[in-house]
Amino acid sequence: MATRIIPYWIVPVTLVHLPEIVALEQRIAAYPWQYALFQDELRAEWRQRSLHRVLLAPPDDRVVGFVFCRALVDNEWSLLNIGIVSELRGCGWGERLLRLVMRHSAKCEDATWLLEVAVTNRAARRLYEKCGLSVIGVRRGYYVSAAGHEDALVMQCLVRGNNP
């Protein structure tokens, strides 16, 4: 199902979007995912347990943002990756994407959300706080890059479902 936020679209990710998503990821991420990792997330057996969305901009539906999320067990969701092109940052698109998938995850029952974020990623931390997540722990040296190791904060929240 597609969501129209004039004049942008948020639609489920398909293989067609992957080359542009990977190119965007390479430009914006401190620890970029490679193509194979994104492709793996689109595996058919995970389709029912995934909420992967892409933000498309007019006039030619170019990819300007994405979010990848998956339920690891039961209704416990993990935010795996999110990105917005630099020119659109701070306009609330990250928040719209994240709130959309969080709402969707709790359509029927309560959902738990869990994620890791690099301690130095202040924009992402702020985004997650805005969406209701709070810090519950630290994973030492969680991120590994050529430059060394970096700690991750673990953030969590409960999204109430529409159950009576």
Ligand X SMILES: CC(C)(COP(=O)(O)OP(=O)(O)OC[C@H]1O[C@@H](n2cnc3c(N)ncnc32)[C@H](O)[C@@H]1OP(=O)(O)O)[C@@H](O)C(=O)NCCC(=O)NCCS
Q: Is 68:41 a contact under the CB 8 Å cutoff?
A: yes
Within 16-75, the residues that bind ligand X by CB under 6 A are 28-29
How far, in Å, CA of 81 to CA of 66, rounded?
Answer: 8
How far, in Å, CA of 77 to CA of 62, rounded?
Answer: 27
Taking the complex as a whole, the smallest distance from the CB of residue 107 to ligand X amounts, in Å, to 22
Within 74-103, the residues that bind ligand X by CB under 6 A are 82-84, 89-95
Choosing from 47, 122, 139, 149, the residue that interacts with ligand X (CB under 6 A) is 122
Residue 153 as a binder of ligand X (CB under 6 A): the answer is no
Q: Which is nearer to ligand X, 25 or 50 (CB)?
A: 25
Residue 144 as a binder of ligand X (CB under 6 A): the answer is no
Spell out where the chain has E strands: 3-5, 8-12, 50-57, 62-73, 76-84, 111-118, 134-145, 148-159
Q: How many residues bind ligand X (CB under 6 A)?
A: 20
- Residue 133 is classified by DSSP as -
Q: Which is nearer to ligand X, 123 or 158 (CB)?
A: 123
Q: Is 30:22 a contact under the CB 8 Å cutoff?
A: no
Residues engaged in binding ligand X (CB under 6 A)? 28-29, 82-84, 89-95, 117, 121-124, 126-127, 130
